[in-house]
Chain A
């Protein structure tokens, strides 16, 4: 297990270096594909191991926490890394099959994107594995640096639009760092379980300040209203597969970090603030999506809306709420990445597909039947239609809310779900129905792209293995909420 965990972190890093040393785009793409396949295998093994309580624990240099830095792979981190591997594989295989390679300028873009996305994967894996909060900060910065590389490689418009993204992320990092300072002064440790143990006995306003700074930083990165304005400005201008990678994994890093600090939030009003902020995100962002004319803009606002659902679950800080958030993350990562890839595939020109405005818009290419089916499955799943993957997540988030004295939150979330459905139908009409009648011949490859196929298939696993997946998420949530002292007793980093 430990070797697998180390390999998942070091593998993509070495592969990034290897791909940098290769000149040909095709060779770089093969390195990335093989790496992603290896990561899928390794993370599946980790998930199975974690489900059987064989968690991987590494402490670097033989220094045990709280003094050394350690990796600690539990159910939650294994799941996130599995999702990351799937998204990476889908992104890379789409990059390889796309028209980007047709022209020299686009080939150059892909040449730069491959090593950057491998580097990003390594940094994300590190962030998911580490049990040390300062190490988490460093991994966050590595993720950001590689995301800046991806922005640069996506072309001039993306570079121009990246200023708000970079600025907001730098600001959020500063808040994160100051929060670490405050918490270290209070708890005297940087190891998350030790910190949680120490903070559980402290009840001063400083605790709220420190944890609040972290919450603010992570909520910014996750894209919670009102801290999300950088997101819809940047994502639509990225190259299609890069946008899919960002929409799938980048905001989820913020969600993951919020999940990790749930034990620190006990006894502060921060959870309640997250519930309201999340519900507001869920509704307001989906309303904003209604006003968008370009499909990519619409999908970007959807990302904010769905992160809102997860944040509500996290803010509840109950076993059921966290279970719901974990399930929702699993569903969202797969489906959202697939949708971004599908829209990119259907668009004749990047960013050209408009939502119909006057009754006969819809200037899409000619989607193949497989793409249409993939879109239907992911779109309806996004709206939470049973028995697709989104339903499981939504059910798990609603269950603890219904019956609790929170009618307003339930109403906000229900309204958000309804508008999600209407805007999915809007995409359907403009991208898939109208265009069929006047199908313009496109030079795109026919059939279902491998990347989309894998993601949709993985999201269908949610339908057929709902029981085991629910149990897994439930147990992951239980471990997260278990008293930190019991984690320390497990004899661990």
Chain B
């Protein structure tokens, strides 16, 4: 459990450092590290270490020893979302680099 906490600490710390950095690319990387930190926090909500997988069938472990599958399902959903959004942010960055808008234009065309 403390390993998990340490991992969250490192990911969140690195994520904040990068997100506060100067470059936009770095801040996107930072956001994606922060997303992983959030995922680990949610995983920590099913705190049974060494629990059996929540499987149905003849080889299934008794319910008391099963891990709670819900946080894992939530993390799976969030992983997909955060990956898609990271890609979107990267695409925005590329689009801006290829087609820069000047400050004047920014003021004029609203």
* A382 vs B27: C-alpha distance when bound (angstroms): 38
Find chain A residues with CB under 8 A from B34 CB: 171, 174
Nearest CB in chain B: distance from A467 CB, A: 42
Q: Mark A393-428, 1 if CB is under 8 A from B, else 0.
A: 000000000000000000000000000000000000
* A296 vs B109: C-alpha distance when bound (angstroms): 13
* Chain A residue at minimal CB-CB distance from B15: A174
User: By the criterion CB–CB under 8 Å, are A170 and B85 in contact?
Assistant: yes
- The answer to whether the Cβ of A166 comes within 8 Å of any Cβ in the partner chain is yes
Nearest CB in chain B: distance from A335 CB, A: 22
Find chain A residues with CB under 8 A from B110 CB: 157, 236-237, 294, 296, 350-351
* A145 vs B71: C-alpha distance when bound (angstroms): 23
* A320 vs B90: C-alpha distance when bound (angstroms): 46
- The answer to whether the Cβ of A161 comes within 8 Å of any Cβ in the partner chain is yes
Contact of A156 among B19, B43, B84, B99 (CB under 8 A): B99
User: By the criterion CB–CB under 8 Å, are B41 and A181 in contact?
Assistant: yes
- The answer to whether the Cβ of B67 comes within 8 Å of any Cβ in the partner chain is no
Q: Mark B69-96, 1 if CB is under 8 A from A, else 0.
A: 0110010011001101100110010011
Residues of chain A from 284 to 300 with CB closer than 8 A to chain B in the complex: 294, 296
- The answer to whether the Cβ of B64 comes within 8 Å of any Cβ in the partner chain is no
- The answer to whether the Cβ of B23 comes within 8 Å of any Cβ in the partner chain is no
User: By the criterion CB–CB under 8 Å, are B42 and A159 in contact?
Assistant: no
* A98 vs B19: C-alpha distance when bound (angstroms): 40
- The answer to whether the Cβ of B35 comes within 8 Å of any Cβ in the partner chain is yes
* A294 vs B34: C-alpha distance when bound (angstroms): 36
Contact of B41 among A134, A163, A178, A190 (CB under 8 A): A178
Q: Mark A237-249, 1 if CB is under 8 A from B, else 0.
A: 1000000000000
Find chain B residues with CB under 8 A from A294 CB: 110
**Interface SS of chain B: helix, strand, loop or mixed?**
helix
* A160 vs B34: C-alpha distance when bound (angstroms): 24
* A144 vs B85: C-alpha distance when bound (angstroms): 10
* A167 vs B93: C-alpha distance when bound (angstroms): 12
User: By the criterion CB–CB under 8 Å, are B44 and A166 in contact?
Assistant: no
* A173 vs B38: C-alpha distance when bound (angstroms): 10
Nearest CB in chain B: distance from A444 CB, A: 18
Nearest CB in chain A: distance from B36 CB, A: 10
- The answer to whether the Cβ of B101 comes within 8 Å of any Cβ in the partner chain is yes
- The answer to whether the Cβ of A100 comes within 8 Å of any Cβ in the partner chain is no
- The answer to whether the Cβ of A79 comes within 8 Å of any Cβ in the partner chain is no
User: By the criterion CB–CB under 8 Å, are B44 and A181 in contact?
Assistant: yes
Nearest CB in chain B: distance from A242 CB, A: 12
Nearest CB in chain B: distance from A82 CB, A: 29
Residues of chain B from 18 to 40 with CB closer than 8 A to chain A in the complex: 19, 24, 27, 31, 34-35, 37-39
Nearest CB in chain A: distance from B80 CB, A: 10
- The answer to whether the Cβ of B3 comes within 8 Å of any Cβ in the partner chain is no
Contact of A178 among B42, B81, B84, B106 (CB under 8 A): B42
User: By the criterion CB–CB under 8 Å, are A180 and B35 in contact?
Assistant: no
Contact of A157 among B81, B88, B92, B106 (CB under 8 A): B106
User: By the criterion CB–CB under 8 Å, are A177 and B42 in contact?
Assistant: yes
Find chain B residues with CB under 8 A from A173 CB: 81
User: By the criterion CB–CB under 8 Å, are A180 and B109 in contact?
Assistant: no
Contact of A181 among B35, B71, B88, B106 (CB under 8 A): B71
* A163 vs B28: C-alpha distance when bound (angstroms): 10
Find chain B residues with CB under 8 A from A134 CB: 74, 77
Supposing A184-B70, A184-B71 touch, asked if A155 and B45 sit within 8 A by C-beta, the answer is no
Find chain B residues with CB under 8 A from A141 CB: 81, 85
- The answer to whether the Cβ of A389 comes within 8 Å of any Cβ in the partner chain is no
Chain A residues near B (Cβ < 8 Å) = 134, 137-138, 141, 144-145, 148, 155-157, 159-163, 166-167, 170-171, 173-175, 177-178, 180-182, 184-185, 190, 236-237, 294, 296, 350-351
What are the 4 closest A-B residue pairs judged by CB atoms, nearest first?
A351-B110, A181-B42, A185-B45, A160-B101
